[in-house]
Structure 1
Amino acid sequence: MHPAFSVVFFTTATGAGYGLLALLGVLGPLGFIAPDFWLGFVGMGLALGLIAAGLLSSTGHLGRPERAWRAFSQWRSSWLSREGVASVTTFIPAGLFGMGWIFLGRLDGWVAAAGVLATIGAIVTVCMTGMTYASLKPIAQWHSPYTLPGYLIFSAMSGSVLVNALLQGFALGSTIPLAASVLLTLLGWGWKLATWRYNDQLEIQTNANTATGLVGGTVRSLEWPHTEENYLLKEMGFRIARKHSAKLRRVTQALAFGLPILLLIAAFALPWPFAAVSSALAAIVQFAGMLVERWLFFAEAKHTVMLYYGR
């Protein structure tokens, strides 16, 4: 699949933003985060800013962005439409939670209820995003048991690293968010390795013979349907060399998982403000690594429509 940067940034930014929002929505009411004005302003601003930036970026891949609103009408049958509805709906409790925290200095009562609803909305939206890809049967690398859990794990991982950086920045850090960030990053690393192993060993059952029903011999294409590139070849037929794929996988492991873990471990031993700097660097490096991981997620996917072109 063609890895358009608008979609790559969308899935990375919204995943991190919803992960941060989900954690803030429960940590605040549970008393792990103080109802401080600047903490709420920066935390909610970062979460909603990442979400909004990602959603706006996603429209860049549309042929007619001004018609994006029409996608909301297909929520009965489309996971993409459900994702849009869930993302917009989540802004309501998230906005109430943010206003109560920032302007009223409260994280109890109706503000706590709004935070819990925002957490639920964030989780549901990430699930809708994951199902948008996991439901596509023509793409075997996505239509697998690893896709939906992967979206949830990576969102929780990115969100926890951001929460830790936020708390460290306000000198409120503790071993609990640091340890959670390390453990979730290790979980994400393991899940990514397992996903790659599954995809590399995947045997696609569909071929030119099964597609045409001619099972008595080997079906071959005598010539292409046309002589020039078209939309399908550009969007569905993107190919990446194996050597480049292997290199980018190593870059993903280093930036998204390995280096953030080292920086987070360093934050355990460093005093403030060095621990805050190390935590912030971990969040920045991981975000860059997840951009590479999302690019590979699209680039390594193979659509069965390419059988029509003899690939």
Structure 2
Amino acid sequence: MHPAFSVVFFTTATGAGYGLLALLGVLGGFQVIAPDFWLGFVGLGLALGLIAAGLLSSTGHLGRPERAWQAFSQWRSSWLSREGVASVITFTPAGLFGIGWVLFGRTGGWVAIAGLLAAIGAIITVCTTGMIYASLRPIAQWHSRYTLPGYLIFSAMTGSVLLNALLQAFGAASMAVLAFSLLATLAGWGWKLTTWRYNDRLDIPTTANTATGLAGGTVRSLEWPHTEENYLLKEMGFRIARKHSARLRQITQLLAFALPVLLLAATFALPWPFAAIFSVLAAMVQFAGMLVERWLFFAEAKHTVTLYYGR
């Protein structure tokens, strides 16, 4: 599949934003994190900013961005529409939670309920995003048991690393959040390796023979369906060289997982402000690595429509 940067940034930014929002809603709402004005202002601002930037970026991949609102009407059958509806609904409790925390300096009572609802909305929205891809049967690399859990794991991973960076920067470090972010990064690393192993061993049963129902011999085209590149080949026939894929996988492991693990592990033994510096670096490096991971997620996927073009 063609890895458009608008969609790559969308899935990376919203995943991190919703992960951070969910953790702030639960931990802040139930006063595990102290109700500090600037922490709430920057934390919720960063979470909602990432979500908004990602959603706006996703419209850049549409042929007619001004018609994006029409996607909300298909929520009964479309995971894309459900994602849009869930994302908009989530902004309401998130906004109430932000008002309670930032303006009133409260995180208990109705503010805690709003935080919990925002967290639930964030989780549901990430699930709908994952199901957009997991529900696509023509793309075997996505239509598997690894896609949806991967979205949830990566959202929790990037969100917790961002939250740890915020807490460290504001001098409100939590060893529990630091440990969770480290474990989540290790879990994401393991899940990504498992997913790659599954995709590399994937035996796709569909061929030109099975597609046409002609079991005998080998089916091939007498001539090319088109004389030049078209929309389907551009969007669904994108191919990446194996050597480039291997190199990008190494970069993904280094930036998204290995370096953040080392930086977070070192944070345990460092005093402030070095702990804060290492935590912020871990968040920045991981975000860059997840952009590479998301690019590969699209680039390595193969759509069965390419059989029509002899690929």
The interval holding the TM-score normalised by the smaller chain is over 0.9
TM-score, length of structure 1 as denominator length: 0.99
CA distance in 2, matches of 1:225, 1:43: 52
1:240 corresponding residue in structure 2: 240
2:191 corresponding residue in structure 1: 191
- Indicate yes or no: 2:12 matched with 1:12: yes
TM-score, length of structure 2 as denominator length: 0.99
Percent identical residues: 83
CA drift at 1:162:
0.6
1:222 corresponding residue in structure 2: 222
2:159 corresponding residue in structure 1: 159
Equivalences for residues 54-69 of structure 1 within 5 A: 54-69=54-69
**Matched-pair contact (CA < 8 Å) for 2:256–2:290:** yes
1:98 corresponding residue in structure 2: 98
1:21 corresponding residue in structure 2: 21
**Matched-pair contact (CA < 8 Å) for 2:127–2:148:** yes
Paired AA for residue 137 in structure 2: K
Equivalences for residues 296-307 of structure 1 within 5 A: 296-307=296-307
Aligned residues: CA RMSD? 0.5
Q: Secondary structure at the match of 1:209?
A: helix
CA drift at 1:37:
0.8
CA distance in 1, matches of 2:308, 2:291: 31
CA drift at 1:49:
0.3
2:279 corresponding residue in structure 1: 279
* Aligned positions, number: 311
2:210 corresponding residue in structure 1: 210
CA drift at 1:28:
1.1
CA drift at 1:174:
2.5
CA distance in 1, matches of 2:186, 2:103: 37
Q: Secondary structure at the match of 1:223?
A: coil
CA drift at 1:30:
2.4
1:48 corresponding residue in structure 2: 48
CA distance in 2, matches of 1:204, 1:129: 24
Paired AA for residue 173 in structure 1: A
CA distance in 1, matches of 2:141, 2:50: 27
Q: Secondary structure at the match of 2:29?
A: coil
**Matched-pair contact (CA < 8 Å) for 2:31–2:108:** no
Q: Deviations over 1:69-121 (max 9, x none)?
A: 00000000000000000001100000000010000000011100000000000
- Indicate yes or no: 2:101 matched with 1:138: no
Paired AA for residue 285 in structure 2: V
CA distance in 2, matches of 1:106, 1:258: 38
2:84 corresponding residue in structure 1: 84
Q: Deviations over 1:190-215 (max 9, x none)?
A: 00000000000000011000000000
Q: Secondary structure at the match of 1:28?
A: helix
Structure 1 residue runs of 4+, over 3 Å off? none
User: Structure 2: 5+ residue runs without aligned partners?
Assistant: none
CA distance in 2, matches of 1:172, 1:36: 9
Paired AA for residue 196 in structure 1: W
CA distance in 2, matches of 1:30, 1:38: 18
